[in-house]
Amino acid sequence: MSDAVHAPTSPSQSWPIAAAMLPFPASQEAPAEVWHDQFAEVAFEGFTEVDLTDSWVKVGNMEASRLTELADVLRQTGLRPEAVSAIRCSVIDPDAGEANLAYSHRTIDAAAQLGCSVVSVGLHRPLAPQQRDVLWFWTVDGPKDDDSAETWQLAVRRLRELGEHAHDAGVLLSLEMYEDTLLGSAESAVRLVQDINHSAVGLNPDLGNLFRLHRDIESFQAAVEACLPLSNYWHVKNYYRDTEPTTGAVVSLPAPMYSGSMNYRTAVKTAVAVGYTGPFCVEHYGGDGLSVMAENRTYLRKLLAVATGEVARASRGTDVGVK
């Protein structure tokens, strides 16, 4: 056995950055061999963590034997299931809220069994028919949450219930920000987490969901400053955004993180400065999403090296972990 001493991995290189399974088709009923090949693609792009996005498979609806198959395939491909993102299953949906609450509880149990660290849920509902008929669904308004005091308290009560379950199961609950929901602005999202008031519950400041809208939006950096102190998981993606000054028309298109209009260099510095230590999940819509997400992971590790001071220390010869 070699006696060589290896330098510890730097924080920026060991920070969990998961690949969303968004680029892959719904595979709930697929055999384990299909899951294996899909995960192999993710691992080949250099990922070691994955977010089991439930548009791909719904672990909360799996029999125990299928969960075992999924865990086996994850081990075979060398991927750690960092998180489950349960999307479009709002616990205050006026029609399906109770069913979604039960599904969210099952998802927490399945995520804990698989060894995940976090479950991300939101208050956004299934896409409206008009949204499914266009190229980019965010260019058409979808369902909007009722903002009455009664609905607010229902959200607080049900999300706190999920937070208590998550705490008991040994995972964190993260609330994904999304337009026209009670998590649709920095101010509202922060207030909701504060009203829930549970140590296992934090924000998933997926601000790309808001930045892409074809309407007036709040400052990205201001939202980062407001939300990151209360965040425990972070879906990151970027968009090109342009506004025509004469008509006010807005255009937004998916972009790699480094070239889009959201300044993640400043945002990541802010996050680290306010004490953010949670995992990241890279996402992308359209085209070869997996390759763009792999680029985003590499870019994000560079930003973390800067934000954590590794780059500055290396330039002074006091940190050998950055090249």
For the chain, domain boundaries? 11-315
Give the residue carrying structure tokens 């965010």.
138
Supply φ then ψ for residue 206, to 5 degrees: -75, 75
Q: Among positive and negative, which fits the CA dihedral 64, 69, 75, 81?
A: negative
Distance of CA 286 to the CA centre of its chain: 17
Give the residue carrying structure tokens 């607080």.
156
Q: What is the pLDDT of residue 4?
A: 37
- Tell me yes or no: is domain 11-315 CATH 3.20.20.150: yes
* pTM, 2 dp: 0.94
Say if residues 235 and 267 touch (Cβ distance below 8 Å).
no
Say if residues 239 and 266 touch (Cβ distance below 8 Å).
no
Q: What is the mean pLDDT of the chain?
A: 95
Distances in Å between the alpha carbon of 236 and those of 53, 243, 258? 14, 22, 11
Beta partners for 173? 119, 201
Residue-wise pLDDT tens digits, 229-273: 999 999 999 999 999 999 999 999 999 999 999 999 999 999 999
